C-alpha cells in the first residue's frame, strides 16, 4: 500500500509516524511545501520575543528523522499541486527547481493547514508587514527588528552622524491567540504595542464579559487596545516606518506590523480533486477523517469537524485536534476502526504570567443557536488553599443544561493553575459529565495544589445547588431592577458599593429579618456569592423569596465593564 501525505507539520507528521508504527510495510511519502517538517508553530511568538532563543529549538523532528526512524520518504520544498482522483495520482512540484513529477497513491492524506488571512488592503505588501505562521516568518521578523531603522536625529544631522534607531513600535492587527501572544512578546522586547481589533472583544471564543478581564489585564501590562476598529490600509512613512490606517480614520505609527487576522482552511488542492467543501469553507470529512472520496483523507486546520457540544460543523484551528485526527486517519488506513469525537475547542493562552482557557460552548454560541436550556454560574475560587502562600483567584464561568445538568462549557482566567481546571472540565465534558459528577469528582489535593473542595468540585456544587433549587440564582443584568440586599461588611462597602442595595451585614441579618419585604424577590449580593448563598438559604427557610446574585461584586466588575466599554 502506498500512502501520500500532503503537509508535514502537525496533522501530516503525526499521521506519517502513526502509520509507520501500525504498518511496517506501507510505502509512505510525505511532502511539505516549506523548508521544515514537524516544527513547533505554537512556539513562534516566543521565538520572536526571545523566550525561545534558538530557532533550532522549534524544529521537533527533521526530514532525516522521518527517513531514518520512520522509513518515510520525506520531501521538503515539495508542493502537491494537483490530484487526479480517477488515476489516483498527485502532481508534485519541486519548489527549488520547478520540476514536476507524478506519484501514484492507494490512499492520500491531506493536512495542508490554514494560511493566515491576508486581505487585499492598500499597502499590505509594504516592507515591515509580517504574518506569524512559519519558521521563515519568525526569522524575517527577528531580522527586521534587529536591523533597526535608519534616521537622522536633530543632533546627529547637525553633527553629521547618522544613527540607527532600534525599532520600537509594533502594531498588531487581530486580537486572537496569535495576535495577543505576539503582542505580549513585543512588550517583552520593550516595544510600544498597539493591538487593533475589528470586533468588540479580544479572544472571540470567550464570552465578552470574560474577555473584558483579559483586556484589562493586557492593558495593565502595556498593550494598548483599539477595539471596534478595522484596519483600512498601510502607508509608508518617513524613516523606514509605516502608518496603519483604520476604518475609523485613525493612524497608528509603526516600525513593524503583524497581521494576525485569523486563518482560512487551505482547500486549494482539495478542490483539484473535486472534494466536497463544507458550508464553513473547510474540507468535509466523516468521523474517520475520510473526505467525499473514500481514498482521500483530510485532517487538521483544513477540515470542518463537528462541534462536540452543539453538533454544528465548525472550523477548529488547534494543534491537539490536528494531531489526533492525523493519528485517526492513519488508524483507519491501517484497518482500525478509530473515530474522531468532534472538538470542544479546548484552548489556553498565556499572557504576562496569567492564563485564559476554555472548553465547550460559550454562552454566545448557545444564544446564537437559540438554545435556552442552559444556566450559567460565575465563581472566583482560589487556585489553592487560601492559607497557603501564593493562592490566586480564578475567575470562572460554567455553563450547564438546566434540564439534566450536563456540562456544556467553561471559561477560566487567572494567574495560577487555570490550565488544570479547564483540562479537568474538558475531560469531564467529553465524557458527558453532569455538574452532579463534578461535585463528586475526586481530584488531588494538598494545600499548595488545590483545596479540599477544588474549584472543579466547587463549580459542580454551586451549579448543583442551583439545579436542586437550594440556591435560586439571578444575574446582574436583571438583578439590578429588583430588591437588592447587600450582606457585606461596612468596610467592604467603602471600597465598592451598589447604591440601590439595602445593606444588612450577614451577622446582623437574623435579628433584622423584619426589615425585609415578604412580597418581593430578594436578590442577595456579597463579594463573590458565597455569603449570598448562606443568606439565600437563611431567607428561603424563613419564608422569603430569595435569590443569589451569581458571582456577586466580582462578577459585577466585569459585567459592568461590559456595559461601560
Ligand atoms: C503562531 C502560531 C501559534 C499557534 N499556537 C497554538 C497553540 O498554542 N495551541 C494550539 O493548539 N494551536 C496553536 N496553533 C495552531 C496549530 O499550530 C495548528 O492548529 C496546527 O499546526 C494545524 O496542523 P495542520 O497539520 O492542519 O497544519 P499545519 O501545521 O499548518 O501544517 C500544514 C503544512 O502543510 C503544508 N502544505 C500546505 N499545502 C501544501 C501542498 N499543497 N503541498 C505540500 N505542502 C503543503 C504547509 O506548508 C504547512 O507546513 C498555532 C499556530 C500558529 C501559526
Distance between CA atoms of 71 and 446, rounded to whole angstroms?
A: 47
DSSP per-residue codes, 188-223: HTT-EEEEE-SSSSSSTTS-HHHHHHHHHHHHHTTE
* Closest atom of ligand 1 relative to the 11 alpha carbon: 25
Annotated catalytic sites, by residue?
A: 526
Taking the model in full, what pTM does it have? 0.93
- Residue 163 pLDDT level (bands cut at 50, 70, 90): low
What is the rounded average pLDDT of the residues 531-541?
Answer: 98
> What is the 128 CA–ligand 1 centroid distance (Å)?
23
Task: Please report, rounded to a whole number, the percentage of residues in the chain having pLDDT higher than 70.
Answer: 95
Instruction: Tell me: pLDDT of 161 over 60.
Output: no
* pLDDT score for 47: 96
Contact between residue 239 and residue 151 where contact means Cβ atoms under 8 Å apart:
yes
Residue 148 confidence (pLDDT) above 80: no
Residue 155 pLDDT grade (very low, low, confident, very high; cuts 50, 70, 90): very low
Mean pLDDT of 268-276: 97
pLDDT digits (tens, 9 = 90+) for 25-67: 999 999 999 999 999 999 999 999 999 999 999 998 899 999 9
Judge whether residue 153 has pLDDT over 50.
no
pLDDT band with cut points at 50, 70 and 90 for residue 201? very high
pLDDT confidence of residue 351 = 98
Q: For ligand 1, atom 27, which residue shows the shortest CA distance?
A: 113
CB count, 10 Å around CB of 325? 30
Q: What pLDDT score does 564 carry?
A: 41
Of the pLDDT bands very low, low, confident and very high (cuts 50, 70, 90), residue 96 is very high
Is residue 90 lining ligand 1, measured as CB closer than 6 Å? Answer: no
pLDDT-derived band at 480 (thresholds 50, 70, 90) equals: confident
Query: What per-residue confidence (pLDDT) applies to 156?
Result: 45
Tell which one of 9, 30, 40, 131 to mutate to probe ligand 1, the residue whose CB is within 8 A of the most ligand atoms: 9
27-31 and 521-525 strand pairing: unpaired
The distance of Cα 7 from the centroid of its chain, to the nearest Å, equals: 23
Ligand 1 atom 23: the closest Cα is on which residue?
10
Site of grid cell 491531506: 110
Q: What is the pLDDT of residues 350-377, one digit of tens each?
A: 999 999 999 999 999 999 999 999 999 9
pLDDT number for residue 365? 97
Closest Cα to atom 28 of ligand 1: 113
Q: What percentage of the chain reaches a pLDDT higher than 90?
A: 92
Smallest CA separation from ligand 1 atom 30, residue: 113
Provide the pLDDT for residue 466: 98
* 497/479 Cα distance (integer angstroms): 15
C-alpha span between 553 and 532 (Å, rounded)? 11
Q: What is the mean pLDDT of residues 420-429?
A: 98
Give distance in angstroms: CA of 56 to centre of ligand 1. 18
Q: pLDDT tens across 379-417, in order?
A: 999 999 999 999 999 999 999 999 999 999 999 999 999
pLDDT on residue 166: 64
Residues 207 and 411: beta-carbon distance below 8 Å: yes
111 lines ligand 1 (CB under 6 A): yes
75, pLDDT greater than 60: yes
Residue 127's pLDDT is 94
Pocket test for ligand 1, best of 272, 318, 343 (most atoms within 8 A of CB): 318
Please give the Cα distance from 230 to 220 (Å, whole number). 23
Task: Pick the residue whose CA is nearest to atom 8 on ligand 1.
Answer: 42
- Model pLDDT for residues 241-251, shown as the tens digit of each residue: 999 999 999 99
Residue 80 CB less than 6 A away from ligand 1: yes
Q: How confident is the model at residue 565 (pLDDT cuts 50, 70, 90)?
A: very low
End-to-end alpha carbon distance in the chain: 59
Q: Which of 137-146, 333-342, 463-472, 535-544 has the lowest mean pLDDT?
A: 137-146
Among protein residues, the one whose CA lies closest to atom 50 of ligand 1: 42
Average pLDDT over residues 110-114: 98
Ligand 1, closest atom to CA 31? 43
How far away, in angstroms, is 218 Cα from ligand 1 center? 26
Q: What are the cell numbers at 291?
A: 473526505
- Strand extents, DSSP E, 168-318: 169-173, 192-196, 223-226, 231-237, 241-246, 251-254, 256-259, 283-284, 296-298, 303-306, 313-314
95 lines ligand 1 (CB under 6 A): no
Amino acid at each position: 500500500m502506498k500512502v501520500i501525505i500532503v503537509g508535514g507539520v502537525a496533522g501530516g507528521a503525526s499521521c506519517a509516524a502513526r502509520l509507520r508504527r501500525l504498518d511496517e510495510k506501507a510505502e509512505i511519502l510525505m511532502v511539505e511545501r516549506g523548508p521544515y517538517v514537524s516544527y513547533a508553530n505554537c512556539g513562534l511568538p516566543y521565538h520572536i520575543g526571545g523566550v525561545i532563543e534558538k530557532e533550532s529549538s522549534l524544529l521537533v523532528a527533521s526530514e532525516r528523522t522521518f527517513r531514518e526512524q520512520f522509513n518515510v520518504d520525506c520531501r521538503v520544498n515539495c508542493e502537491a499541486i494537483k490530484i487526479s482522483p480517477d488515476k489516483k495520482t498527485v502532481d508534485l512540484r519541486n519548489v527549488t527547481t520547478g520540476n514536476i513529477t507524478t506519484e501514484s497513491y492507494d490512499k492520500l492524506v491531506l493536512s495542508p493547514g490554514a494560511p493566515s488571512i491576508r486581505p487585499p488592503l492598500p499597502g499590505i505588501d509594504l516592507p515591515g508587514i509580517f504574518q506569524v505562521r512559519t519558521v521563515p516568518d519568525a526569522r524575517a521578523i527577528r531580522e527586521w527588528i534587529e536591523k533597526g531603522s535608519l534616521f537622522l536625529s536633530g543632533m546627529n544631522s547637525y553633527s553629521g552622524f547618522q544613527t540607527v534607531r532600534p525599532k520600537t513600535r509594533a502594531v498588531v492587527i487581530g486580537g486572537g491567540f496569535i495576535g495577543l501572544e505576539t503582542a505580549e512578546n513585543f512588550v517583552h522586547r520593550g516595544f510600544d504595542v498597539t493591538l487593533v481589533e475589528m470586533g468588540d472583544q479580544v479572544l472571540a471564543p470567550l464570552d465578552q464579559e470574560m474577555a473584558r478581564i483579559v483586556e484589562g489585564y493586557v492593558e495593565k501590562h502595556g498593550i494598548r487596545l483599539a477595539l471596534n476598529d478595522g484596519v483600512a490600509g498601510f502607508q509608508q512613512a518617513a524613516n523606514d516606518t509605516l502608518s496603519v490606517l483604520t476604518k475609523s480614520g485613525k493612524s497608528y505609527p509603526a516600525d513593524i506590523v503583524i497581521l494576525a487576522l485569523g486563518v482560512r482552511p487551505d482547500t486549494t488542492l482539495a478542490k483539484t480533486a473535486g472534494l466536497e467543501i463544507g458550508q464553513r469553507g473547510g474540507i468535509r470529512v466523516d468521523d474517520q477523517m475520510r473526505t467525499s472520496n473514500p481514498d482521500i483523507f483530510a485532517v487538521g486546520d483544513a477540515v470542518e469537524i463537528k462541534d462536540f457540544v452543539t453538533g454544528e460543523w465548525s472550523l477548529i484551528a488547534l494543534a491537539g485536534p490536528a494531531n489526533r485526527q492525523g493519528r485517526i486517519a492513519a488508524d483507519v488506513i491501517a484497518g482500525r476502526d478509530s473515530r474522531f469525537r468532534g472538538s470542544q475547542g479546548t484552548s489556553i493562552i498565556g499572557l504576562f504570567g496569567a492564563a485564559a482557557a476554555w472548553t465547550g460552548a460559550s454562552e454566545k454560541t448557545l444564544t446564537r443557536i437559540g438554545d435556552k436550556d442552559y444556566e450559567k454560574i460565575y465563581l472566583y475560587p482560589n487556585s489553592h488553599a487560601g492559607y497557603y502562600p501564593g493562592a490566586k483567584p480564578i475567575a470562572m464561568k460554567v455553563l450547564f443544561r438546566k434540564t439534566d445538568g450536563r456540562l456544556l462549557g467553561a471559561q477560566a482566567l487567572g494567574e495560577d493553575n487555570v490550565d488544570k481546571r479547564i483540562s479537568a472540565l474538558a475531560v469531564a465534558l467529553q465524557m458527558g459529565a453532569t455538574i452532579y459528577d463534578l461535585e463528586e469528582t475526586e481530584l488531588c489535593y494538598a494545600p499548595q495544589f488545590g483545596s479540599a473542595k477544588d474549584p472543579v468540585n466547587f463549580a459542580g456544587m454551586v451549579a448543583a445547588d442551583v439545579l436542586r433549587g437550594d440556591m435560586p440564582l439571578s444575574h446582574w443584568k436583571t438583578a439590578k431592577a429588583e430588591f437588592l440586599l447587600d450582606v457585606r461588611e461596612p468596610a467592604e462597602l467603602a471600597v465598592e458599593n451598589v447604591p440601590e442595595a439595602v445593606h444588612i451585614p450577614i451577622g446582623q441579618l437574623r435579628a433584622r429579618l423584619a426589615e425585609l419585604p415578604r412580597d418581593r424577590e430578594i436578590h442577595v449580593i456579597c463579594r463573590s456569592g458565597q455569603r449570598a448563598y448562606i443568606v439565600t438559604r437563611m431567607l428561603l427557610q424563613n419564608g422569603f423569596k430569595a435569590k443569589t446574585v451569581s458571582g456577586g461584586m466580582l462578577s459585577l466588575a466585569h459585567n459592568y465593564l461590559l456595559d461601560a466599554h
